[in-house]
Structure 1
């Protein structure tokens, strides 16, 4: 084989496959000539089902974010976060003014941003110094320390909070104890986490 073209053996294989496919298609059409219209309709339905499945798979993250219960603020300023279907408590924080979905994680020591979320929040992950490490469920990951201009969750706003950015892809960002320790009270009851400032 030379360059980008097909060699003689590959051309023969391709021709053979095309002839075989044509023969199978012809046999199928002959066998179902009385039911051709019904068969075509069934193939169209299955094709639409297949395309629908591909679309749902491709949009699943967006769909699951839309149906996930959202946090709410009570009149007394407390924030109520319902437990998600995955058993975690999810919030959308504004990190440097950018919406970032996060998991409230009492097992995490600090605020941890994924590379993707750090980039969206105006940080440049490629220019950070990943000199520290953290232990995660997936193993040890390298992290870099950053200072956030603002972190806002509901009516709770913090300036100059330290956070970590992971070098690898960790999935969702985490809201850990460095943030939660700023609260006066955390309560988990009836499938809800209640945060009080």
Structure 2
């Protein structure tokens, strides 16, 4: 154990002593009632822990995630009706909304910053027509882009100067795949 572990142990011990002291003073003369309350809260905490553990096991069934095989990527439709695709860009997972109405790959400012792109160094010289009007954009290159087994050394993208909830994956990238939509699944093949 290192110094941090000893500190945590001391903190948890003090917390336990404080809770036990409160329990003894609150339930003085009614220890049976106090023990029942303690056991009830213990069972509640155990139930929450078990629920969290089960959620980790079943969340992929409740909220399906994209699946990759050697020849295809299968993306489930999200509850909002869109398809969200997670690419790995320079080792960093990044989620994009598939947008067949968009030409290019468009990064939000927050996603660009997550990838290590210095927003202060960008020149927002381009313009793009969106549903919300014209926005200024800056051209960037994304290196080492992977989607499942498919890899691209470099792809072009834009950083949007306006506010965006997330990044968009337009046809410049999606056009590298054959796209099939079947039921509530988008299937990309190369």
Q: TM class by shorter-chain length?
A: 0.5 to 0.7
| 1:70 aligns to 2:65 (yes or no) | yes
Correspondent of 1:80 among 68, 71, 74: 74
Larger radius of gyration: 1
Distance 2:165 2:131 in 1: 12
Kept in 2, the 8 Å contact 1:73–1:80? The answer is yes
What is the CA-CA distance between 1:102 and the residue it aligns to?
0.8
Give 1:144-183 correspondences, 5 Å limit: 144-183=138-177
Pair 1:141-2:132 in alignment = no
Q: Which runs of 5+ in 2 are unaligned?
A: 1-61
Q: Which residue of 1 aligns with 2:184?
A: 191
- For 1:96 and 1:118, locate their aligned partners in 2 and report how far apart those are by CA, in whole Å: 12
Q: Deviations over 1:98-118 (max 9, x none)?
A: 111110111110111101001
Task: Please list, as runs of the form range in 1=range in 2, the aligned pairs for 1:41-120 lying within 5 A after superposition.
Answer: 68-75=63-70, 77-120=71-114
3-state SS of paired residue (2:164): coil
RMSD, matched Cα: 1.6
Aligned partner of residue 65 in structure 2, secondary structure: coil
Within 1, Cα distance between the matches of 2:88 and 2:109?
Answer: 16
Secondary structure of 1:102's partner?
strand
Q: Normalising by structure 2, what TM-score?
A: 0.65
Offset, 1:168: 1.8
Matched position secondary structure for 1:86:
coil
Shift of the alpha carbon at 1:69?
Answer: 2.3
Structure 1: state its 5+ residue gaps.
Answer: 1-66
Contact map agreement 1:97 1:121 (CA 8 A) in 2: no
How many residue pairs align between the two structures? 130
SS at match of 1:149: strand
> For 1:126, what is the secondary structure of its paired residue?
helix
SS in 1 for 2:101: coil
User: What is the alpha-carbon distance in structure 2 between the residues aligned to residue 145 and residue 190 of structure 1?
Assistant: 35
Q: In 2, are the aligned partners of 1:107 and 1:177 still within 8 Å (CA)?
A: yes
Q: In structure 2, what is the Cα distance between the partners aligned to 1:126 and 1:168? A: 14
> 4+ residue stretches of structure 1 with deviation over 3 A?
none
